[in-house]
Chain A
Amino acid sequence: DGGITQSPKYLFRKEGQNVTLSCEQNLNHDAMYWYRQDPGQGLRLIYYSQIVNDFQKGDIAEGYSVSREKKESFPLTVTSAQKNPTAFYLCASSNSGGINNEQFFGPGTRLTVL
């Protein structure tokens, strides 16, 4: 089955630690995205990538980093610089960066800082 996988589903982090969230897709999509979801705030874009080895900051990139070394993979690192990292993180991909192409979403990772 084609789709997007995110791991782990739940992640706990101590303050001061960096953690990496995995996102893999087998849809052969060019574009990939990371969103952060907080209750009542919708989804906010952290980073996005339209092609391999290229990515751009979204609206709330501070305290996060990404890489895009392979077309199918777009890992997100939540660094210790992120002041309030507890949230639900969603990865998405689309066929291209085209404006009428819907984004397909993974199941999400819930990160909790202890």
Chain B
Amino acid sequence: AQSVTQLGSHVSVSEGALVLLRCNYSSSVPPYLFWYVQYPNQGLQLLLKYTSAATLVKGINGFEAEFKKSETSFHLTKPSAHMSDAAEYFCAANAGGTSYGKLTFGQGTILTVHP
């Protein structure tokens, strides 16, 4: 069964510092991968998605993620954190096949940005 693991339920950085949120997947075939962001009491907004066109994916708000098949990882990064980046981030995967259209989500990482 497909699973998605996000290492670290809480990450804290200073404003202007590098943001690194980790995501690993387990799948017999390379999945399609997504990063979503959720602000308090709101729905999820898509940051970026990997669909095999390019291993380095750029998203909104200066975020990017790199797909590494050898490491089964899809970590999310941003060179310089901003206070407005404080939110919860979810990594998700779709492995296709019988799971057509369904996403498996990681447990989420809460990002805190200190001034």
Contacts and interface: CB of A to CB of B under 8 A. Distances in A.
A45 B49 contact: no
Contact of A45 (B34, B100, B102): B102
Nearest to A50: B101
Interface stretch (A14-22, A36-44, A73-81): A36-44
Interface residues of A, number: 30
Interface residues of B, number: 25
Contacts of A102: 34, 46, 49
Nearest to B4: A42
B102 A110 contact: no
Given A42-B106, A42-B107, A98 B101 contact: yes
Contacts of B42: 107-108
A18 B89 CA distance: 32
B80 interface: no
Interface of B: 9, 32, 34, 36, 41-46, 49, 51, 90, 94-96, 99-103, 105-108
A-B complex: 6 closest residue pairs judged by Cβ atoms: A97-B101, A105-B43, A42-B105, A99-B96, A100-B51, A105-B44
Given A33-B102, A43-B105, A48-B102, 16 more contacts: A40-B107, A40-B108, A41-B107, A42-B105, A42-B106, A43-B44, A45-B102, A58-B102, A92-B44, A98-B100, A99-B32, A99-B100, A100-B32, A104-B46, A105-B43, A107-B43
